[in-house]
């Protein structure tokens, strides 16, 4: 599938009908989502024929992109049941198969090395301090191949240090810096749209045979 075609399909997906600010529910736009998954697939071979998990999947954009790029199996995880209903409807509309699980990422426990790649646009931790780091830690424990994640550029040094020193990543690389459009979704948003600088990261977990999560 061509990049533009992927972006077009993702652009038609339904987004949060009743966004919850405490969960930092902001959609990942089709421009960023398509480039993120396309890079993971074509530059690194981390999507096609891989088992992919979308952490904090919201309305399913990243996981659906993985399914469209021929992931072997995709599972989306989110704490919010309403978003998962939308994600499921989105997958149905595009006739792709994904499973969805309602779960708090902080308490997620999966046994064995079943997930090759985690893709995620986690909460940035602006509502609950450390939410972004909880996602990163869990993703690095669970993925056996790679983790792709978006984080505010202002947190770059902190993310790198924590990934390598605390969460045992073998490598942590910023693939590119992107402009993330935050649409005017909540009452406290004064401006129509704002964009913030985010880093697209690729983390490689330490090889850890038989790691039980």
117 near ligand SAM (CB under 6 A): no
Q: For tokens 């994600």, what's the residue?
A: 87
How many other C-beta atoms lie within 10 A of the C-beta of residue 186?
A: 12
Q: Say which residues have a Cβ less than 8 Å from residue 182's Cβ, sequence separation at least 6.
A: 26, 189, 193, 194, 195, 196
Q: Which CB atom, from 88 or from 208, has the smaller least distance to ligand SAM?
A: 88
Interface segment toward ligand SAM; rule CB under 6 A; list 75-83, 151-159, 175-183, 188-196: 75-83
Q: Pull the structure tokens for residue 117.
A: 């790649």
- What is the length of the chain? 213
196 has which bridge partners?
Answer: 180
Q: Which CB atom, from 103 or from 164, has the smaller least distance to ligand SAM?
A: 103
Give the separation between CA 131 and CA 129, rounded to whole angstroms: 6
CB of 7 to ligand SAM, least distance (A): 14
- For ligand SAM, the binding residue among 7, 26, 71, 201 (CB under 6 A) is 26
The CA-CA-CA angle for residues 140, 142, 144, to 5°, reads 80
Q: Which CB atom, from 78 or from 116, has the smaller least distance to ligand SAM?
A: 78
The binding track of 121-160 with respect to ligand SAM, each residue x by CB under 6 A or -, is: x-x-------x-----------------------------
Q: Which residues bind ligand SAM (CB under 6 A)?
A: 23-28, 56-59, 61-62, 78-80, 83, 104-106, 121, 123, 131
């Amino acid at each position: 599938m061509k990049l533009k075609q992927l972006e077009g399909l993702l652009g038609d997906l339904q987004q949060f009908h009743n966004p919850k600010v405490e969960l930092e529910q902001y959609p990942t736009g089709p421009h960023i989502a398509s480039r993120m998954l396309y890079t993971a697939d074509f530059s690194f071979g981390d999507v096609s024929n891989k088992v992919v998990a979308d952490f904090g999947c919201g309305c399913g954009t990243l996981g659906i992109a993985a399914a469209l790029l021929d992931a072997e199996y995709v599972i989306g995880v989110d704490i919010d049941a309403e978003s998962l209903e939308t994600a499921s409807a989105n997958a149905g509309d595009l006739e792709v198969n994904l499973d969805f699980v309602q779960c708090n990422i902080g308490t997620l426990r999966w046994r064995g090395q079943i997930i090759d790649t985690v893709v995620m646009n986690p909460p940035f931790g602006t509502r609950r301090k450390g939410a972004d780091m909880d996602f990163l830690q869990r993703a690095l424990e669970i993925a056996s191949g790679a983790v792709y994640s978006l984080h505010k550029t202002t947190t770059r040094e902190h993310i790198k240090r924590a990934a390598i020193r605390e969460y045992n990543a073998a490598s942590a690389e910023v693939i590119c810096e992107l402009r993330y459009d935050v649409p005017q979704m909540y009452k406290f948003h004064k401006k129509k749209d704002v964009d913030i600088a985010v880093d697209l990261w690729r983390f490689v977990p330490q090889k850890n045979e038989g790691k039980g999560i």
